[in-house]
Amino acid sequence: MANNRLLKWLLKMPLTERHRHLAKLTEAERAELRYHWELWAREEQLPPAGDWRTWLVMAGRGFGKTRLGAEWVRDIAKDRHARIALVGASLAEARSVMVEGESGLLACCPPHRRPKFEPSLRRLTWRNGAQATLYSAAEPDSLRGPQHSHAWCDEIAKWDNSASRAENAWNNLVLGLRLGEEPRALATTTPRSVPLLRRLLAEDDAVITRGRTVDNEQNLPARFLRDMRKSFGKSALARQELDGELLTDREGALWTRALIESVREATESSPAARTVVAVDPPASAQGDACGIVVAALGEDGVARILADATVQRASPERWARAVADTAVKWRADRVVAESNQGGAMVESVLRATDITLPIRLVHASHGKSARAEPVAALYEAGRVRHVGALPALEDQLCGFIVGGSYEGPGRSPDRADAAVWALTELMLSARPAPRVLEF
């Protein structure tokens, strides 16, 4: 049944008509055809025609980027001379997503043509001799020296941007793409405004495919799509993570997305010497969100935003309990709370939850943007890090404009205000200078 004539006949059909004919096949017949990617792929998931060196696929989550990459590699591996680099944000992600994931290479290959995977060697080998090797973008020097004919780079916007690691990894990779007649690289990612992604978008010889989560709705649970839109609506997070849109910076913004990406680290690179939980209380019982942010001053003198524990539309009892639970979880040394919305009330509500930590009430004597400016300067000086991804908080930070306005999501930058208070407490609060007492 699965002969070349049938495949050519099916491939000439429009996608919807093709699926209708495939649905009429028996289970055995469908099993025979399930590994013919050209039958099932959407047009934008197939390699572009023409002479290109880099194919950049920038799309929302669930678009089918991993399957696209795995199938592209599988097709390349038909050539026994192929030497393919598989580059992930880490070796663990390269293995768990690109190789062993439900849309990874092992799952996409028919059992009788599945490559041999040797985890200790970071290598896949096909029966014809084609090979693929796993690399971590966090170790750029591991790509210095090896030669390849092709490369699949997954989630390049997640690659470590500190010390220019992401760009160094890419540079070393492309310098080694010199085997075969047409060396090529595929990069798949959900967008973030990072230097490497902006660089690829600007390259003349890069072919760019864009897409949204909803493009793959036939293979996604309807409830997932409905719940995602209900939860995130048309927010900046939805535009980036679901619609695959590269968010640009506002003119005059105190924080840019490139700046934030440059200070991101996957885990704390220094033990915490002091930890605070900062609170921006809502103006009313059922009003704006209560901003709750955890930050720590490391033993290396660098401050780190560790978590965003903000709660939405919470009563005073609920947000106070959230503050107390967050302080316990992170072993905080102090709670810092803005007191403009009734200082005595804020402290009494917090005390009612049995918080035994010192509580420092801070009063906003300047506008939000004015308070944020010296904190933004700390980022520019490399004295602040973000541990992991904090998208809602980062969207608000990027909404602060020089001169005093806020143009970010929501009516109030509650999360960003809490972060500013936390970093001010850790890095900018006046401390009495040590002095020698006379006896």
Residue 225's pLDDT is 87
| 384-387 and 359-362 strand pairing | unpaired
- The mean of the pLDDT values for the chain is 87
Query: CA–CA separation, 63 vs 213, rounded Å?
Result: 5
Q: Which residues pair with 305 in a beta bridge?
A: 295, 386
Asked whether the beta carbons of 98 and 91 are under 8 A apart, the reply is no
Residue 58's pLDDT is 96
Query: CA–CA separation, 280 vs 406, rounded Å?
Result: 16
Residue 219's pLDDT is 87
Query: CA–CA separation, 336 vs 343, rounded Å?
Result: 12
Residue 316's pLDDT is 85
**Residue 224 one-letter amino acid:** F
pTM value is 0.67
Max intra-chain CA distance, the chain: 101
Query: Going residue by residue through the chain (439 aa), what tens digit of pLDDT does each one get?
Result: 445 566 666 666 777 777 777 777 777 766 667 778 887 889 999 999 988 999 999 999 999 999 999 999 999 999 999 999 999 999 999 999 999 999 999 999 988 889 999 999 999 999 999 999 999 999 999 999 999 999 999 999 999 887 789 999 999 999 999 999 999 999 999 998 888 999 999 998 899 999 999 999 988 998 998 888 887 777 777 888 899 988 777 888 899 988 998 899 989 999 999 999 999 988 765 567 899 999 999 999 999 999 999 998 888 888 888 998 999 999 999 999 887 655 556 777 777 766 677 888 887 766 677 789 999 999 999 999 999 889 889 989 998 888 777 888 877 899 999 999 999 999 997 554 444 545 4
Helices 414-423 and 368-380 cross at an angle (nearest 10°) of 60
Query: CA–CA separation, 118 vs 113, rounded Å?
Result: 16
Asked whether the beta carbons of 295 and 275 are under 8 A apart, the reply is yes
Residue 432's pLDDT is 45
The DSSP code for 432 is: P
Asked whether the beta carbons of 119 and 86 are under 8 A apart, the reply is no
- Which tokens go with 207? 């072919």
Which residue stretches of 381-413 are H helix?
Answer: 391-397
Residue 401: its H or E element: none
Q: Which residues pair with 291 in a beta bridge?
A: 280
Asked whether the beta carbons of 75 and 68 are under 8 A apart, the reply is no
Among the listed residues 6, 266, 317, the one whose alpha carbon sits nearest the alpha carbon of residue 136: 266
- Sorted by where each starts, the structural domains of the chain and their CATH numbers stand as 41-238 (3.40.50.300), 257-428 (3.30.420.240)
Q: How many residues make up the chain in this entry?
A: 439
- Number of helices and strands in the chain (H, E): 17, 15
**Mind spelling out the 3-state secondary structure of 298-354?**
ECCCCEEEEEECCECCCCHHHHHHHHHHHHHHCCCCEEEEECCCCHHHHHHHHHCCC
Query: CA–CA separation, 243 vs 187, rounded Å?
Result: 18
| 291-298 and 123-125 strand pairing | unpaired
Query: CA–CA separation, 404 vs 196, rounded Å?
Result: 31
